[in-house]
Structure 1
Amino acid sequence: MLTQRQQGIVRWLADNCGQFHSAAALAQISGVSVRTVKSEIAAIRQEINSSAVMELIAVPSKGYQLLIHDPQQAALLLKHIQNPPQSASLNEQPMRIKIILLKLLDHTGYVRKRWLLQQLNISDSTLYLDLKAVRKILVQYNLELTYRSGSGYRIEGLEQDKRTCLAREDIYSLTEETHETKANLKRITELKELLVEIFLENEYKISEVLLESLIIHLLLTLQRIEKGYFIEVGSTKRSGTEKETKIARDILRRCTTVPGSRLGEEINYLAINLRGKRDYDDFAGVSEEINVFIMDSLEKIHVEYGVDFTRSIDLKIALALHFVPLLSRMQNNRQLKNVLLTEIKQTFPFAFDIANYFSLLIDDHYHVRISEDEAAYFTLYFNYGLENITMNSEGKKILVISSLKPSETILLRQKIDQWFRRQLLQLDFVNPLDLSRIDPASYDAMFTTETKDTVTRGAAVRISLFPTEKDFAKMNLAINGYDSVDSILSRFSLDLFWHGEAQTRREIVGRLITMASRSCRLPKKFEELVREREKLSSTYFGNQVAMPHPLYPITAQTFIAVAVLDKPIVWDTGQKVRIVMLVSTEMNNPKAFQLWPYLSSLVCEPQRVTEILREGSYENFIAVFRAALLDKF
């Protein structure tokens, strides 16, 4: 099987067939040495020349040429070979450079040349070219690559400059600590909540952009401190104000168990960055290109799924830090296997759909298809984001009236979200001068940070700019929500239930769509989107249950069409199904997605499935499902 690099060479030769190409030209395109290209060409010829479809020939003094003998079959083969990466994110040499920098910056002593050659699987000449590029990068950060005969390579310079290099070159994102899903999410959440708490305690205003950057900065700082790398004494020339120094001290002492006596220069360095807030614009730690892609993707997810992740700091940071290692794995054909794939699909089906859509956006932008296993890792991030938006079917819409600038509401917003995240559907801020432009009656509760509330005449509960537990008590009186079994069962109906026999997956899905079209107004694209979702990944959820659904919410109302089959049908290779639920959640309603965990819970109980199959009537189906739901409330 061809590697990613070899696929790129074949794809390029196919796009430029009809002429010869020298090894030097291919080396420049691939970002490796001529020696490495010749080795890759030998492997490619051995792989493809055995077929009658195409042939790679070599002619002395001319170079290499790809001959296509069967254009139709060649087109089918080439369709599965990705285009050669054009962006720096997926180019092999830039990725090798990042790995070299990471190994050298994360090592106290010298790194042997032989070790680098083995780890990167490259030749001496390719390593020479890579190290030459490494030196050019290091010069920008006042760092120097030194070599000692018999010992190897080492980077010399100040810790402060090393951290700047790690952050600005996206190298920090390659570390294991940044993409261990559960630990990463937990630490990001803990840091965010700690920072919000400290800034509120000190009545210190901070923007959302600065808070995001500060979290990434702290992740890097803590990782370096825990490995024994500290800012050198006397290396910082300025200091923050007394207040900023106090905040920096509180942050670091509550984030790490390192003795305070060793944190002096670290505290001073953090205080400097708090004072010079703009410094964080250059210290974000994740490239602007990746940040823009993730933000654009979250906005597209908002449009298609009606779920707004764009203000979820935790999710954006987690996705960004996971992204660079993922690009590296895609580049080298080493996408991870996920042993919990089936469990993740069953437990978080809506988040899995969002992750699959996100994978399509990655494919469109980077021309690399993400496996189901990798999508499952993204599922955990998106499920985390969903839980932090709302998990209550009767979530409240809250309005806060405040003259604060939008960038200054981040602490208040985060605190309210932290207190009531499972009860809120929507949290809006409005300036008192703009209140006449909206309808306060459309909100379930109103709060104000203004001392004079003449506009709403007491209808808004006053809270502090820096809320305390007293504010929590007042807000808690105004915010409530509940779930019920009947609210879920109301999505089923006898008109959308069928019991009988079917021969194929296509037949039964078509029947359910036809049934649904008689009771609900289905958009023209509905069936097409159901088919597209089926092509993306399996909708078999286990225990003889499948739940086909559109690629994204598209109907005006939520419905579930059910088929209980007398005999099993083949759904996927090796998977047979007897219960099919065609699920469509209404668009533009973040509350609708919480139907999925309850549907999924049925799949996880084999005895309930057996009870449904024992008697295939609608009444029995509802009775069994009701009993299953009662265990959840």
Structure 2
Amino acid sequence: MFNYKRLDDIFNYIRNNEFTTASKLSLLLKVSERTIRTDINNLNDNLIGASIKLKRRSGYYVEIHDLDAYNKFIASFKESSSKDKELDSSQDRVKYILSILLYSHDYISIDDLADSVFVAKNTLSNYIKTIKKILPVYNLEYIVKPGIGIKIIGNESNKRECIINEIYSQDHLSMTLFSTSEKTFFNDIDLHNIGLIIINIFNKYKIETDDLKLNNLSLHFALMISRILNDDYISLTNSVEIPEEIYTITSEICQSIEEYFGITITNGEKNYIALRVLANIKYQDQSINNAKIKSLVQDIVETIYSNYRFDLRNDSVLKNDLFNHLKTSMSMMELNIENRNPLLNTIKTNYPLPFEIAKTVFKQIDTLEFTDDELGYIALHIGASIERCFSGSLKKKYVYLVCGSGQATTRMLEARLNNVFGDKIFIVSRLSYHEFITLKNEDFNGIDFVISTIPLESAYSPAITVDFSLPQNDIETVSHFIASINQGKSKKIQKFFSPSLFIHESTSISKNKLLEKMNNMLIQEGIVDENFLTSVYEREDLSNTNMNEVFALPHPLDVIALKTKVAVAILDEPIVWNKDATIKIIFLLAIKKGDTTDMEHLYDLFIEVVNNPKLQQGIIHSLTYNQFIETLDEYIN
């Protein structure tokens, strides 16, 4: 209703109370009393039929001059109290209380805190317990003054880190817009304009970033502004030497922000924000050895192939993306700057296999130590490559379509094929006969077969001849051919499993007992030796191997099996795999070094188990080995 949301909140609070002090409003809205007085002047410029007055020693109140005009104004006024909408969970209330304490210079009474979130004192005490656990992480201290209240003390940089991480931490895959809570918290700060200022100056200096990092950087600038407006300044002498060009860019952004918001940004603040600029752009130190990074990238893809049989070695997109990311990461390491990944939990939850691959591969490569935040970003690059090269190959067959009678008939046949086999094939390319005969062997990588209106002979891929109208007999021919491919893949996958390596547990069992049981089955079949389980535990210590909430894929840290097989356990009672997850499907993976045959089909299956809830349920309800194989066969076909 008013120019910005804080005015709505002030007006709502004053009109719903007999008297309201400036100190009370300052506490609730985390701004200075001077700002409150300025806001009330703005309110009086816009109110109709009433004005806000101050009664000495009591506070502000609404004085009505024209009741009809005031009632009409109120009728058109849509209440937008942020607390009513946003403090609907204990987590929201904890964040709100924490923000009040971090912005207050004085002790705050328990009564005032309870009132601010509309809860009783005993409920508030539970929230305070949560806050007390958070503060030591940031070297902040909780102080109690009996009969007066509580406050948080600590240095300003630690307070800001706590605010960003605990109050405004985000974990979304798409962060091109600011969240409602961010807009509400910074309701007197134009986040959009901060973003525009940064973009314009970045464009001027040809600085690259992405939406996520731009959003993160804008929030850091907004936080800096809000702390300055609250008379909280940072005194920071960087241990990191900021590159001159970055400091120049930061100074120019700060100058524009000073002019727009009417504030003064100190040198300490500039040093503080320059580090955030550096951490949120694609900065690459040109002194870093490119050959070293290229060698590291090659080691990564070779190790992925050696361990997991995902052949990503010819994916130029992956190699280029890894090169650029690693160069930026190593530039940050040289400057001792941590690259926090706000998407880390989302990546671990939704892309567990790529994260598992990144974690294991970097542990095995004798190189720099990468944090989980960095590995999360690297996992996304690996996951994207797997999607490009492998995803969905169990379900859809990749085909070339060859038609020698023109564009119109090609389009007609393509439409018919997609209509009938849309869930079974993916047409990679439409080709003329002359284009087809110029293809080389490498052009058929990933191609399952060719559909053609012309009889073809190809040494590289099987071909089916059909009429462009795709009559019923041709539909049956294509169907039978797809089924034969699926049956072939099904047999290739089934060879990794065995009745003697399958168990269904109807009673509860611990994780270690289960792994020991499965390991003993592998030993009895001559698939692994006595060192296998130790290596499995070493891998579990490195990070958890649960792929999602039902499926775990434990395996040794090293490729040490004597044969390649998978031991399977299906549980009636969920097993605690780690402190955060329970699972019911366990595939204990044993891989013989150098065994590459048909491994891509096995990993296709793992990807599908991770991503397909229907397949997961089918496996969970398989009480016998035959039922398990029938479930896999039914899904593949």
Query: Structure 2-normalised TM-score?
Result: 0.42
Give the structure with higher Rg (CA). 2
Query: Structure 1-normalised TM-score?
Result: 0.42
